[in-house]
Amino acid sequence: MKPLSRASAPAKIILFGEHFVVYDRPAVVMAIERRAYVTAKPRADNRIIVVKSREMGASGAFTPSGEYQPIEGGLEFEPKFKPIYIITKRILSLSGEETLGLEIEVDSSIPIAAGLGSSAAVAVASASAISSLLEMRLSRDEIFRLAFEAERFVHVNPSGVDPAVSTYGGILLYRRGEGIRRLDVEAEIPIIVGDTGVKRVTGEMVSRVSDLLMRYPTVVESIMDAGENIAKLGVEALKSGDMRTLGELMNMNHALLCALGVSNDMIERLISAARRAGALGAKLTGAGGGGCIIALPEKSNVQGITEAIRNAGGEVFVTAKAFEGVRIEE
């Protein structure tokens, strides 16, 4: 066993297909250069699993029976730390080291509950750091499966797209029934991310779409069919480097998400500001209900769009494609 192991995994944006991907439609997802870092090390007090988050300013311990005991902060942090506990217990079981105590520390630059895959990036980095600490040679596929299993606790019915892109990096075409296909995209794709500052729960947004589908099946199925066609055209635009078409398709995808009721006033405010400032396209990314929007700029207009989103009330940063997925940082 190593004395310490540190791993990281990237955040993501969804260019096309959020919500539709839950129902076996394709999604186009891009890893971005914001990362979650996880450090794992053994503890002397066997079987106690301690999880700390610098960003949240919270920590807590899980007993052998799975009971959560707050150290810093209250019981409200248990749901955020439970996926890490689930991953840790699973890896300890696979390694035969079930009586080992561990300390897991999270240090992330990814906004929480903002549609950028924060929980998935932390789950993927945790699986990598813990398995590396125990000198287990897990494949990326195995890391993905462990993170996906833990994501079920967070999001109830996750598509799997978040842990997939955090694991593999780059730009992926993901379909639940077919799995992952890496897209060979040479074009530079600058992306401006605007955070509404409105926190939301992915599971609630997924349930909202599910309810709508049950009430209006033919209408919602038609919306999802349109979303699938947009995603397919988006892949072609990415491969050819046609940024103008990519932006137009992003705008169309956002209109479909509005029809599903997952946008809100603040999302629309930031998107309108980005488009008025000259963005080729702008849309919400992730589950909606808050969180982040993404805007596709022309290279000459990055600053103008950034300032427009900030003036509209959004926290904003400029990012680019992360070629590398999960990695060991030692």
Beta bridge partners of 12: 31
Taking CA atoms, 230 is separated from 108, 116, 242, 249, 257, in Å, by: 32, 21, 14, 6, 12
Burial of 187 (0-12, 13-18, 19+ CB in 10 A): middle
Q: Round to whole Å and give the CA distance between 35 and 32.
A: 8
Residue 98: count of CB within 10 angstroms of its CB: 12
Q: Give ∠ CA 229-231-237 in degrees, rounded to 5.
A: 105
Active site residue 162: yes
Among 95, 80, 112, smallest CA distance to 199 is for 112
Helices (H), 188-321: 202-215, 217-240, 243-259, 265-276, 302-311
Catalytic residue of the set 45, 107, 141, 162: 162
Which residues form the catalytic set?
162
